[in-house]
């Protein structure tokens, strides 16, 4: 009898992969306040992150995404989208790949680069929001 290979990810990663949150289903219908597109030439993953912002408070009210990538990229971006909502733009800008991996309960070492795309995409969306609104962001 052939033994099935074990799932190398945490239950939380599996949940976010199988039931991704905040997927950007129709980019044209989503009126984003900021949009970022990033990719990784080595693995071929590409990602779009779009945010809506309460301009009076500077808080991300919604974070949507679409990725062409592996289970780790999907789960990481799903988790990131949940982490970003309700944060100020500056708080969200400071979310790191390590924060995402920790929140997911870990990723295999060779998959950490997948979680980097998400926070790079979020930062690009926040930078786009600042550009669109003529805000000079000083880190």
Q: Is the dihedral of CA 121, 126, 127, 131 positive or negative?
A: positive
Which residue of the set 10, 37, 40, 43 is catalytic?
Answer: 43
Is 31 within a domain?
A: yes
List the structure tokens of 49.
């992150």
Of 50, 51, 60, 114, which residue is the catalytic one?
114
Active site residue 63: no
Question: Whole-angstrom Cα distance, residue 134 to residue 110?
Answer: 39
pLDDT at 2: 65
Which residue range is the domain that position 67 belongs to?
A: 11-132
Model-wide pTM > 0.85: yes
In a domain, 53, yes or no: yes
pLDDT of residue 26: 86
In a domain? residue 82: yes
Instruction: Judge whether residue 16 has pLDDT over 80.
Output: yes
Tally of structural domains, the chain: 1
Residue with tokens 């920790």: 102
Residue 4 lies in a domain: no
**Averaged pLDDT for residues 109-113:** 56
What pLDDT is recorded for position 117? 77
> Is residue 88 a part of any domain in this protein?
yes
- Residue 64 covered by a domain: yes
Q: How confident is the prediction for the chain on average, in pLDDT?
A: 85
Q: What percent of the chain has pLDDT over 90?
A: 48
Residues of the chain above pLDDT 70, percent: 82
Catalytic residue status for 43: yes
**pLDDT confidence tier of residue 46, bands split at 50, 70 and 90:** confident
CATH assignment at residue 28: 3.90.1010.10
């Amino acid at each position: 009898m052939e033994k099935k290979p074990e799932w190398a990810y945490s239950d939380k990663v599996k949940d976010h992969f199988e039931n991704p949150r905040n997927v950007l289903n129709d980019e044209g219908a989503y009126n984003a306040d900021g949009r970022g597109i990033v990719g990784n030439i080595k693995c071929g993953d590409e990602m779009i992150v779009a945010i809506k912002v309460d301009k009076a408070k500077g808080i991300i009210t919604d974070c949507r995404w679409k990725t062409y990538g592996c289970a780790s990229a999907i789960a990481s971006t799903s988790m990131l989208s949940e982490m970003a909502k309700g944060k100020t733009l500056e708080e969200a800008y400071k979310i790191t790949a390590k924060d995402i991996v920790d929140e997911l309960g870990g990723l295999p070492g060779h998959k950490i680069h997948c979680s980097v795309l998400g926070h790079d995409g979020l930062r690009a969306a926040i930078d786009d929001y600042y550009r669109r609104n003529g805000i000079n962001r000083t880190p």
